[in-house]
A and B are shown apart, each in its own frame.
Chain A
Amino acid sequence: MIRIYSLILSFIISFALFTTAHAQRLVSGLSDSQISIHSSFSGDTLTIFGNIEAEHGAKDKIITGSFNIITVIKGPTINRIIRKKSKQFGVWLNSDYEKYNRFSSFFWILSDTNLSDIASDETLREIGLPLNVQPQLSLKKSDEHSETFNANLIRLMKDEGLFGVNENAILFRSDTLFSTQIKLPANVPVGNYIAQTYLFQNGVLVSKQAEPFSVKKTGFERFLGNFAKQSPLLYGIFAVFLALFTGWLGGVAFRR
């Protein structure tokens, strides 16, 4: 009798856990949907905020339990090459390389605590985390050569501030309200970005939400960038005229 009773109890408890685990949804937003690169651009900060809410139609409107948040910010993909120097014929020259197609040019992982405490490696791997489990990297043969290049590519991207992990970047303002900031460096690549926020509870992915934003050159910078790409011949001729004019002006102004 006691056995049956405890079985029913555990069933009720697990049912309660099951329902709470899927009764939440994530609402998130960004401080800007467009980052403008202007003449004095030296990086920018983007705020990502969100709230954990009860699912539509859920009976229980009160959110309980402890949550973890991971936000992944990814930039436009670019074909990249990484080269390695070695000493040949007495000089150091690029002798070996590995190419990566459609490789993320920006990849930051923000979380409220250590990734390893949030979920298992397998769970994280399913959403392409951490940095070294990107599909573009794992497509490569897993031999020593490509692993060395993979590791060094990530290191170089980290050195430039374009890749990184910050495991205490997300702050909970209340039990359900959280916010975080991502610093976009001055060399942030131009293009379309996505900020993907994942909600975890007890190591299980409960909900996710994606917010797109873009990094664009504006004003004069945009005009020059487009001018150089769309009518390169005219741009070159203009550059020459500017040079000749500046030189002439200098020569006239300072008559030596």
Chain B
Amino acid sequence: MQIYLPIAEISLNLFFLIGMGGAVGFLSGLFGIGGGFLLTPLLIFSGIPAPVAVASVTGQVAAASTSGALSYFRRSGIDFHLALYLSLSGIIGVFGGVAAFSALRDAGHLDLVISLGYLLFLGMIGLMMLLESMRSLLRDFRGKTTKMKLPGQHNWVHGLPLRIRFKKSKLYVSVFPVLLIGASIGFLGALLGIGGGFILVPALIYILRVPGNVVIGTSLVQVIAIMAASTILHSVDSQTVDILLAFCLMVGGVVGAQFGASVGKYLRGDQLRALLAIIVLSVALRFAYSLFFEPADLFSTAILSIGELGQ
């Protein structure tokens, strides 16, 4: 069954869209990620124009994160104080990201920056996760227990001025790293059409030392805030949010996430991270391919603005 997407101005199969949302939703439930970094490239490869894909996925990620955050809220796994700081700085970052998005699109370099951005961040994070989970799996295999650096221990970041106490996260930390992390995620999220959870969570754990029981819930709240802001700003700035497309993805995503979450209970944390690392790295490789190998078609065309009727 074909469905016409009024903003993307193409028609796609409805079940294909819901299925794609569902598959990505399954992974997002399994790994506790928004899934934007998988969905945006998938949509682009399905023929949806990159600006519409990036802008519409923000809506889908907001929905997926809401249902995720809800379950963390029930088991009180959210530090709202920290989330507020991250969200406000994140929204400022979003303004920058949307402005950069428009400027790059006009200059014709949006695809390049999206590819480079994905390659850089997915490659980095994927490699880090893979190494970390391998080390943990190996340790387990040898039956040794080594002392890990636990959250709660301080590093130089905590010593910066203007310190604030976040009770729930048991943190007493300078406000600067918090705001910087929030703003960077907001910028990248709006620019690349990703929630940024897979960058934010490691940043919160390794830089701020946020404890594990609140880190995902808190990051989900920030993801909701910056994705909501991105959706609104993309709507205003470029009118590229396709509600129908986003809605199809949301329905699939929300349902898929539930199944992912229940499967996730049967897998161990380090196994999950190793799996996620492999998925993240393969997406990064796909983008590396488009950057370093000669494209099938050197030429591409885009619409600048709608002119009047002429003969």
Contact = CB atoms under 8 A, between A and B. Distances in A.
Contacts of B244: 224
A239 B303 contact: no
A40 B250 CA distance: 20
Contacts of B290: 92
B308 A102 contact: yes
B222 to A, nearest CB: 15
B217 interface: no
Provide the main secondary structure of the chain A interface.
mixed
A246 interface: yes
Given A77-B310, A153-B301, A248 B66 contact: yes
Instruction: Identify the interface centre among B6, B257, B294, B306: most chain A CB within 10 Å of its CB.
Output: B6
Instruction: Identify the interface centre among A93, A192, A244, A254: most chain B CB within 10 Å of its CB.
Output: A254
Contacts of B309: 76-77, 191-192
B233 to A, nearest CB: 7
Given A39-B3, A82-B299, A247 B231 contact: no
B252 to A, nearest CB: 11
A13 interface: no
Interface in A142-171: 149, 152-153, 155-157
Give the interface residue-count category, chain A: 35 or more
Contacts of B291: 91-92
B63 interface: yes
Contact of B294 (A92, A228, A229): A92
B56 to A, nearest CB: 9
A186 B261 contact: no
Contacts of A153: 299, 301
Contacts of A255: 71
Given A187-B9, A221-B6, A239 B243 contact: yes
Given A79-B304, A90-B292, A242-B59, A221 B4 contact: yes
Contacts, number: 220
B184 interface: no
Interface string A31-62: 00000011111100000000000000000000
A233 interface: yes
Nearest to B297: A156
B112 A94 contact: yes
B70 A248 contact: yes
Interface in A101-117: 101-102, 105
A244 B62 contact: yes
A225 B236 CA distance: 13
A77 B307 contact: yes
Instruction: Identify the interface centre among B235, B239, B294, B298: most chain A CB within 10 Å of its CB.
Output: B235
24 contacts: A41-B4, A78-B305, A81-B302, A83-B302, A84-B299, A85-B295, A85-B299, A91-B116, A92-B290, A92-B291, A93-B112, A94-B111, A186-B4, A186-B11, A225-B6, A233-B232, A238-B243, A239-B59, A242-B247, A244-B224, A246-B66, A250-B67, A252-B70, A254-B258
